[in-house]
Each structure stands twice: as structure tokens, then as C-alpha cells.
A and B are shown apart, each in its own frame.
Chain A
Amino acid sequence: MSDRYELRFSGSGGQGMILAGIIMAEAASIYGTKNAAQSQSYGPESRGGASKAEVIISDQIIDYPKATAIDCMLAMTQEACTKYHGDVKEGGILLVDSDEVKVLPEGKFRLLKYPITSAARDELGKTIVANIISLGMITELTGIVTHEAIEKAVLSRVPAAFLELNKKALQIGFERAKTLK
């Protein structure tokens, strides 16, 4: 299993967690040289409720598309954090949005906190790009994909009118993650 790098993006439906997963997987497999599989799970509603996307990155064929022992997990809401943190492996990273996650889980993982939503709101005026800031942070923290690859992947998935906004969000993510290292 060591040839698998597992990521989980979790939050509430509508926060762009599935899109974040897709972008990360594309950065690895389309704009990078690795293989990737992205899967998701959510309730019958497309908005609200805990939702998660998982990305497996590997140099080999990816069989099981779901996370088994997570290398890096993002939690954007308290509900998602509480519900999904259990699979983070020993020594893995759990990045939480400290605006939302107040009850911090305990475990043998590296717990990193950052007010992601307020950074999006205060610095870019749009909470909608919180997921892109997270992608920047995770890229910087894990090094699983390059800055160039994640940028290409982000820009290929967002509307043309918002390219600059998303570029900035990614940049903020890279920088803030350095402060957590």
C-alpha cells in the first residue's frame, strides 16, 4: 500500500470539495506524470450534509479507489472533521479550517489549523474560493503535485472570468501553508 498516496477533501455539500478532489487528481494525472483516481460520497441531497471526495495518487494501477489509510485530509466543517478524520494514518496530515472546526480531534497525526474561509473572505472577498486556497495549502504541505501542475489544473476547471481570482487564491494557499510547516 506504500505506493498509494491518499487524500480526502471533506466539508459540506456545495463547498466545492468534490471539485477540489477532481483538480488535485487532474494535477497528478493529466498535468503530472502519475496515475490518479478520484471518488466521492455524499447523501441524496446535492447541497448541505457532509460530503467527501477522495483522491488516490500512485505510479501504478489504482485498484481500490477509496481511502484506506489517509496521508492528507482536509476538513472544512466540524461535522466532516468529526465524521471522517478516523482514517488519517499515523504521521498523516489533518488540515482543518479553524473558522469552522472548533472541537479538535485527537490522534497520532499532524493537526494543522488555519482560518481558510476567513482568508478567502477577507483577502479575496469571496468565500467560494476557500477550496482553492486549501488546494494551494495541501500542494505546499505534501509536495504530491507541483505548483505548476496544480495551477494548470485549477485554471482549466474554473470559468475564464475568474482565472485571476483563483490564481491569487492558490498563491495565498502556497504562502500560508509555509507558515504551518
Chain B
Amino acid sequence: MSVPAEKKEKVSVPFDYNKYLRPNKLPHIWCPGCGHGIVLKAMLRAIDKTGFDKNDICVISGIGCSSRTPGYVDFNTLHTLHGRALSFATGVKFANPKLKVIVVTGDGDALAIGGNHFIHTCRRNIDLTVLVFTNATYGMTGGQYSPTTPMGSQATTSRYGSIEPPFDACEMAKASGASFVARGTAYHTLELEKTIHEAIMHKGTSVVDIIDACPTYYGRANKFKSATHMMEVIEKENTVNVKQADKLPPEKLEGKFLRGVLHKIEKPEYCEQYESIVMEKAKAK
């Protein structure tokens, strides 16, 4: 896994990723230059910061490149069907609310085939952490356009430029009722680690839209020079931290994605609400 040089080395002791990986399941399937490995590392550092026991963590995915993540990490892991990660996760969490459930999903998995589950998971505000790896591509099937592919982009199914407006996962999550919505990128890896940590610690449905790059398909089809070039253009230049956004004139924000915690509210959580009914019924006996 290649990690971009970070501005400040904050970690004095090298982080022991093997504590959370299943080393004998590596190497992973991701291509050189893919951002998923960087996101995985940020996720593991964030989990480490929570101090939760590995036995209490459950990582659940759907289908796609990012959805292979559970196989590599040493938790209770579940690799489900295309689009259905959130439904399986709802079942696991609801059956055993003590588990910390993290869903790892791609933009196609979460927003297209699993779009309905995404909306309703947010609406219930069940305590799940949803990490959407947004690379604007169906990588596993060879680079078709996805629900986050920018208009005009090339893909193996949009050879004349995509004519579909893309979804904004954060806007959708917020509108659907998620109580924590954030965005990060693979480029801003320390910021991402902090955001994921905050998402896991938040009670309720937490959605983190994580912009990363698919140099193999999206990059080549859209004439990016390299993986690092993609990171610079898509992740660095095209995003602004929400805290800096206020200071910038509107023209500097046009077409750019905001990073950081975009929405955070206190709201009743599904399992707790259900538990209060159970307690009430138990008292009535």
C-alpha cells in the first residue's frame, strides 16, 4: 500500500497495522494507486483510537472493490450481497446492539443498487458507521459509470461522456435523517482518521463519504497522468475543509466538495428506542 507523504509526522511510534489485519489474507486485490488501502489504514487507526475490543467490532460490506475490506481485517466480518450491506448490518446491530458495526461500501453499492437501504438506514438513525468509498467507478466490473460519476466523464458505459447528474452522498444522508454526516478523502489521511473516529463514536447513523481515486479505470479513461495526479486534482484541489469554507469567497467554492463534519445532531437512536419499548412491556407484566 502506498501512502502519500504527509505534511507532519504526528505518529511517533509506527502504527502496528498487523494488530488489526489478517496478514495471511494479504496481498489485497486493489490495484497500485488505488485509494482504498489508504482509507483502510485510516479506518484501522481510527478504530484503534476508540479502544474497542476487536471481538466487539463487526465490519460489513456489500459487493465491489471496497467491499473486499472485511476479508483483510481481524474483526467479526461479513461480506454480503451487492447493495445489501446496510440491511445485513441493521440485522446484526439490532440483534446485538453491543456490537460496533462499521459498514464499508462503495458508491455504486450504497447509492445505486443499495440506494433504498441507504435512505432508510439514515431515516431510522440506527447506530451504524457507514463508510462510502466514492471513486465514481464500478471497478470490480471494469470501469462503468456510477451514481457519483461527474457529468461528461468517460467510463466503459459512457463512451460519449456521462449525461447523468451525480448524487451527493452527504446531501442524501442528511436529507434522509442521518444524525452524523461527514466527508473525507484519501489524500487528507490524518483528517480522515479523525473524521472516521468521530463517526464511530457518534450514536446513530453516521455516514462518511470518502472520495478516493480509481486510477486503473476512471483515471485512464479520463486522461489523468497518474494516481498522484488524480489525488491532487480530485481530492486536494476539488475539496475544501468546511472550517475554511466560511473564509472563502463563493467563486472559490463553486463545484468543490466540502470536507469534515458537515452535519451532527443528537437524535433518538433506533435500538435504544426499541429497547425502551421492551422495558415498558417488561414492566407491564
Q: Do chains A and B directly touch (beta carbons under 8 Å) in the complex? A: no
Residues of chain B touching chain A, judged by Cβ–Cβ distance below 8 Å, are none
